[in-house]
């Protein structure tokens, strides 16, 4: 933990994952709101970075506010909003979307057409889809056999919900499309790739002054390692806070915030 103590005062920005760190399902995790207040009171900028494709940044900011966490939409990035920003930046016009209606709406917010005709699409976007079906898989195959760009929101295997259970994530749906079509995704928007972080913070940040906080090893901690930032791994089943080879482990966001305040 000594290394983290040394860099605590240099940290300017704390980038926090949401599912499993701030909330589980519809419930705020104990102390997460107090932790975020403590970071801010100690002069740290707080941002929220989620692989979730189920909501855009405005809806997530509203949800955080309703749970008692003050935040502006500009402090949030989701893989739904980041996918829309990406698709707009490369100029795709007709997108076939596997995902929730909220993902389609986020794409339309950025003035991009969402098409129901897989033969007409120039890109296929795959996000988490609770109504995923054999028919949608067949439509995705038509898109990809026509040479569509293949864009995915993330490869997360699962995500936590209220009752301690986990539900299937976007990754299993992506895997089904990849196996059926024989093509690998061309672009993966979500963590551990840094596209979402760049979309959130802009070009002008220094990785050494950032902490990436999350409960995902292959997403959050892999992103921290990739950009050379401090990784703060949250594991509520851990026995104690400790240092691992590539990251620092705490049992909750609150425990990390209390530790950080003492270190400053
Ligand atoms: Mg998470």
CATH of the domain at 180: 3.40.50.1000
List CB contacts of 28: < 8 A, sequence separation 6 or more: 22, 67, 68, 69
Q: Do 149 and 229 have their domain in common?
A: no
CA dist 243 and 42 (Å) reads 23
Do 204 and 167 fall within a single domain?
A: no
Residue 120 Cα to ligand 1 middle (Å): 35
Question: Model-level pTM greater than 0.85?
Answer: yes
Same domain, 149 and 165: yes
First to last CA, the chain: 13
Do the bridges between strand 210-214 and strand 13-16 make them parallel or antiparallel, or are there none, so unpaired? parallel
Instruction: Mark whether 206 and 218 lie in a shared domain.
Output: yes
Q: Does one domain contain both 176 and 202?
A: no
State in Å: Cα 162 to ligand 1 middle: 13
Domain end (from 188, 205, 235): 188
Judging by beta carbons within 10 Å of its beta carbon (0-12, 13-18, 19+), is residue 134 exposed, middle or buried?
Answer: exposed
pLDDT of amino acid 1? 72
pLDDT at 86: 97
Q: Mark which of 172, 188, 204 sits at the end of a domain.
A: 188
What's the structural domain count of the chain? 2
**Which residues in the chain come in under a pLDDT of 70?**
none
Q: For residue 22, report the distance from its CA to the centre of ligand 1, in Å.
A: 9
Q: Does 203 lie in the same domain as 219?
A: yes
Q: Answer yes or no: do 40 and 23 share one domain.
A: yes
pLDDT value of residue 36:
98
- Whole-number Å distance, alpha carbon 214 to ligand 1 midpoint, is 6
* Residues 6+ positions from 122 with CB-CB distance below 8 Å: 92, 93, 94, 95, 148, 149
146 Cα: distance to centroid of ligand 1 (angstroms)? 35
Neighbours of 1 (CB within 10 A): 13
- CA 28, 32, 33: angle at the middle one, nearest 5? 90
Strand blocks (E) in 146-243: 149-152, 158-160, 166-168, 187-188, 210-214, 230-234, 242-243
* Residues 105 and 34 placed together within one structural domain of the fold: no
Domain boundary pick from 188, 219, 238: 188
Give me 249's structure tokens: 């482990």
Distance 182 CA to ligand 1 centre (A): 29
pLDDT for 264 equals: 87
Within a domain: 205: yes
Distance 109 CA to ligand 1 centre (A): 26
- 244 lies in which domain range? 2-51+192-263
CA–centroid distance, 53 to ligand 1, in Å, is 13
User: What's the CA-to-centroid distance between 19 and ligand 1, angstroms?
Assistant: 4
Do both 183 and 221 map to the same domain? no
């Amino acid at each position: 933990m000594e290394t983290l103590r040394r860099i605590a005062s240099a940290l300017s920005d704390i980038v926090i994952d949401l599912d499993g760190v701030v909330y589980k399902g519809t419930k705020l995790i104990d102390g997460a709101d107090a932790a975020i207040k403590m970071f801010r009171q100690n002069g740290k900028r707080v941002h929220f970075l989620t692989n979730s494709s189920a909501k855009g940044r405005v809806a997530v900011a509203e949800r955080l506010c309703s749970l008692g966490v003050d935040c502006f939409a500009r402090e949030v990035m989701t893989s739904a909003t980041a996918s829309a920003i990406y698709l707009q930046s490369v100029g795709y016009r007709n997108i076939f979307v596997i995902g929730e209606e909220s993902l389609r709406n986020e794409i339309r917010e950025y003035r991009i057409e969402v098409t129901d005709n897989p033969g007409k699409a120039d890109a296929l976007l795959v996000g988490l889809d609770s109504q995923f079906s054999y028919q949608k898989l067949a439509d995705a195959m038509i898109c990809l056999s026509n040479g569509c760009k293949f864009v995915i929101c993330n490869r997360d295997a699962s995500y936590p919900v209220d009752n301690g259970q986990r539900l299937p994530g976007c990754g299993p749906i992506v895997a089904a499309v990849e196996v059926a079509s024989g093509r690998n995704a061309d672009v993966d928007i979500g963590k551990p790739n840094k596209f979402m972080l760049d979309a959130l913070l802009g070009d002008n940040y220094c990785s050494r002054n950032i902490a990436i906080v999350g409960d995902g090893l292959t997403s959050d901690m892999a992103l921290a390692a990739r950009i050379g930032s401090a990784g703060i791994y949250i594991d509520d089943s851990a026995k104690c806070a400790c240092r691992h080879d590539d990251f620092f482990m705490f049992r909750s966001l609150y425990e990390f915030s209390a530790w950080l305040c003492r270190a400053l």
